[in-house]
Structure 1
Amino acid sequence: MTKGAAPHMRAEVAASWERSAAAGVDITQLEAPIALDVPDVRGLREAHPLARVFPLLDDVLGREVRDCGAVMALADAEGTLLWVCGTPDRLREAERIGFTEGSNWDERLAGTNAPGLAIATGREAFVTRDEHFRASVRTWSCAATPIHDPVSSRLLGVLDVTGGDAIVVPQTMAMVRAAARLAEAELGRQAPPPPTAERGNGLRLLLELLGHSEALVTVDDGRGRLTRLRLSRRHSEIVTLLAASPAGLSGDELAVLLYEEDGGSSTLRAELNRLRGLLGEELLASRPYRLTAPVTGDWLAVQAQLAAGDLRAAMRGYGGPLLPRSTAPGIVGMRDALEASVRQALLRSGQADLMSAWTRSGWGRDDYEMWLAQRAVVPAASPMRALVEGQIARLDRDLA
């Protein structure tokens, strides 16, 4: 573990320390880097969707924060602080660590902190005193939670409360979470309704497959009502194969992709009938078998991000192998192809922090070639070098 780490550390914080070290953050760095000058911050704020709900957040949370001597901040999806609110004295103290409007608190630039951890993991985060990577921040504690677009689910930014020991109570996160959900509800209320022509036939399917042994399916009826399902392994495989074949598949084609050995047609028909009962008659057609609603999925987003050259976004979205326990030939092919694409992009990238994210994972822990590539780009003086060398030595022993 990096020098200066607390003797007992939560796993998610330890992982963030490793990401911070891999990105080259200096533990003695006093301030977070300034990403935007004041005029640029103002322009970005005016154009940002969160500008529509900032007054609401300041009213429901900002007042409480000022009363307890803390600071409320609202960052964009890249970690740049767009609004920082508090009493004048407290704001001056926050400025000493660079916690000001226009500074960037992505953990790869500012080290472990709650807003950066929330962006990295997509979940709410609490970081207390010594859990911060940079020594200059260790008199502070912070609680943060993401805010998403209620229509597209896109990350809009992060709401954060930063202060002293008084905020290290469960009620702080509860307040931050409630304020963020209120902001999302208000954004949803302000969102324009879908065009009339799309209503009634606006069904959509969202599939979450990466790192999940069973698919998580969200059915959007186009009227704001969402139904969430966890499918069995076989149904997960069928939905995934059909999602990957928009034009549809015959029964024989689907069986070849689904079964390792010849599967009975009656068994497949029974599985499809059960699946139709779960999804609804209107979502699963036959002759050929196909999904009748537009499909979005986590693996599709990763593929698109790789194609666009946005490896960092692809790594954020890659939650693990696609349906990792499936042995269906078609699924194995999809899984192997996606993993190979991500892995080769990483090996070519030369970005130590992204390689570190791969080798910290369950699927990449024993990736010898990736550890070697990581060693080639980690500076000899980096605190990460000893960890990388140790893992290579472990694999050398295991492979001997």
Structure 2
Amino acid sequence: MEGSTVASVSALRAAHERFVTSPGELPGIRALVADSWRRCSGRGIRPDGSRLPPLRGTPAELDAYRRAHPLATVLPLFRELLGAGAADDGHIFAVGDADGTLLWVEGDTAAMDRAEHMRFVEGAVWSERQAGTNAPGTALELGRAVQIVAGEHYSAAVHGWSCAAAPVRDPRTRRVLGVVDLSGGGTIATPPALAAVRAAALSAEAELERTVPLGLDGRAPASRGFIRLSALGRDSALLESAGCVHRLSPRHSEIVLALALEDRGVHGDRLAVDLSEREVPASTLRAEMTRLRAVLGPAVLGSRPYRLLLPVRGDFGEVAALLAEGRVAEALARYPGPLLPRSEAPAVVEHRRALEQQLRGAVLAGGDAGQLRRWVGAAWGADDPAAWLALAHTLPGGSPQRAAAAARAHALDAVGAIPSQVRRHAAVLQRSHS
């Protein structure tokens, strides 16, 4: 089991009751669980189990969605690795999508009947945002395997269960495709259960790499009529069209992105300005476009003006759309890094800065400790003094982690990276908790 030792069932129940009646310190509760409880409380999730997870779509819509989902191809593998044991040992296994919707729930009949009472059924949304602390939802929230035992669940309706879950990623892009989960009684509150779901997730990823031409957003391509573009956190973008995946050179990545941002097309002189602050000879640009057309084909890249001939679905656009909907945790989870991080093309730099500032602003404004930790824990947020200070403010008074976060903000101040008002707050926090 990861992290500190899990408390006893009675101690967990008592801690949960204390937190529900008077949120505050959580002695004896694992940090992973305590952070999740605080997120749930901040989101207004009911801890008494009176609100069950919602169902998504009709049975017919769910069936069509499942057939098109990339994890459908590895469902037989999950059944082989987890299904037989689930039926024999009195527990169930489930496979969900990246939003926490349960696509398949199978296993012991009696356990499945009990699971229906808390709506752990196909089509139910078990994201942490909808269902509170639970293994599949929290695994998706954190992007790693987790185990949640009995009273560690935020909803009292789930206190009779233990579960272990691991995210499953696209082996090419490392995007989260979904999650695999084991749920049941005491046998799931053990290290072997966590190891089993981790192994199943890794096996599924290996199988996907061998067999499935996944789309760049992690979904099986349902149509050949658009381009999928992955350009976050990488210098060489991936472009999928007509079932073929192209790894573009850094320069071609800049060109394709510039065209994707101008869907009506761009004339050569304007494209040259988008690509460089220095003058780009027309002959050089024409040569680059000729090489790019040879890679993508004339059905994808047009000219006069230069344009992409198919609609573009880009990972950068998905993050922006999630932010526009207020889904900050999902946007952060789908942000592997800045847009073409080493590019100096003006069009790329402008869009990269805008997207990063939108995401950063949403994380800071949300005041969620888990999201702030993920931000400062990433390369692009490690030297963000305002984020370190915001993290310090979200942590409990007297916490060593709070003092450390404040100290980090203060240290960044020493190199002039922080405004004076923020500097004073950091110094006060450091003195009061060191």
Q: Report TM bin, short chain.
A: 0.5 to 0.7
> Structure 1 residue aligned with 2:282, among 243, 265, 272?
265
Match of 2:200 among 170, 173, 178: 173
**Distance verdict in 2 for CA 1:175–1:308, change over 3 Å:** closer
For 1:300, the equivalent position in structure 2 comes to 317
Partner in structure 2 of residue 190 of structure 1: none
Cα deviation per residue 1:184-223 (whole Å; 9 max; x = unaligned)? 99xxxxxxx98xxxx9xx531111111111111111x2xx
- What residue in structure 2 maps to residue 29 of structure 1? none
- CA shift, 1:227, in A, is 0.7
Deviation at 1:229, TM superposition (A): 1.1
Alignment pair present for 1:328 and 2:345 = yes
CA shift in 2, pair 1:22/1:363, >3 Å:
farther
Structure 2: gaps spanning 5 or more residues: 7-29, 41-46, 213-220, 418-434
CA distance in 2, matches of 1:203, 1:103: 30
Which of 382, 386, 391 aligns to 1:365? It is 382
Q: What is aligned with 1:21?
A: 35
Greater mean alpha carbon deviation, residues 112-121 or residues 287-296: 112-121
Letter in 2 for 1:328: A
Describe the shift of the 1:156–1:397 C-alpha distance in structure 2 as closer, same or farther (beyond 3 A): closer
Q: Which moved more, 1:384-393 or 1:102-111?
A: 102-111
Once the two structures are superposed, residues 17-66 of structure 1 have per-residue CA deviations (whole angstroms, 9 ceiling, x without a partner) of 6696376279xxxxx8747449x66x878476169869987976533422
TM-score between both structures, scaled by the size of structure 1? 0.68
Give, in angstroms, the shift of residue 308 of structure 1: 3.1
- Residue 49 (structure 1) aligns with: 62
Instruction: Report 1 or 2 for greater relative contact order, CA contacts < 8 Å, sequence distance ≥ 6.
Output: 1
Q: Does the Cα contact within 8 Å between 2:62 and 2:103 map onto a contact in 1?
A: no
Counterpart for residue 179 of structure 2: 158
Q: Deviations over 1:50-91 (max 9, x none)?
A: 698699879765334223565313456554768765548978
* Contact 1:107–1:113 (8 Å) recurs in 2: no
TM-score, scaled relative to structure 2: 0.63
Question: In the alignment, residue 388 of structure 1 is paired with which amino acid?
Answer: A
Alignment of 1:204-243 (within 5 A): 204-219=226-241, 221=242, 226-243=243-260
Structure 1 residue 369 displacement after superposition: 1.5
User: Which residue in 2 is equivalent to 1:4?
Assistant: 4
Equivalent of residue 347 in structure 1, options 356, 364, 369: 364
Q: 1:390 to 1:64 in 2, by over 3 A?
A: same
Instruction: Decide whether aligned partners of structure 1 residues 228 and 348 sit closer, same or farther in structure 2, where only a CA change above 3 A counts.
Output: same
Q: Secondary structure at the match of 1:217?
A: strand
Instruction: Determine the structure 1 residue equivalent to 2:305.
Output: 288
Aligned pairs, how many? 353
Contact 2:364 2:372 (C-alpha < 8 Å) held by counterparts: yes
Unaligned runs of 5+ in 1: 7-15, 27-31, 149-153, 186-192
Residue 229 of structure 1 aligns to a residue in which SS? strand
C-alpha distance in 2 between matches for 1:323 and 1:35: 46
> 1:63: which partner in 2?
84
For 2:361 and 2:330, how far apart are their aligned partners in 1? 15
- Match of 1:73, SS state, is strand
Distance (Å, rounded) in 2 between the aligned partners of 1:372 and 1:108: 29
Which residue is 1:356 aligned to? 373
Partner amino acid for 2:38?
Answer: G
Distance 1:307 1:268 in 2: 35
How many angstroms does 1:93 deviate by?
A: 12
Which letter maps to 1:280? G
Structure 1 residues 302 and 309: CA distance shift in structure 2, 3 A: same
Instruction: Find the residue that maps to 2:38 and give its secondary structure.
Output: coil
Q: CA deviation at 1:321?
A: 1.0
State the one-letter code of the partner of 1:281.
Answer: P
| Gap change, CA 1:275 and 1:76, over 3 Å in 2 | closer
Q: 359-368 or 77-86: which moved more? A: 77-86
* Corresponding residue for residue 15 of structure 2: none
The Cα of 1:339 is off from its aligned counterpart by: 1.5
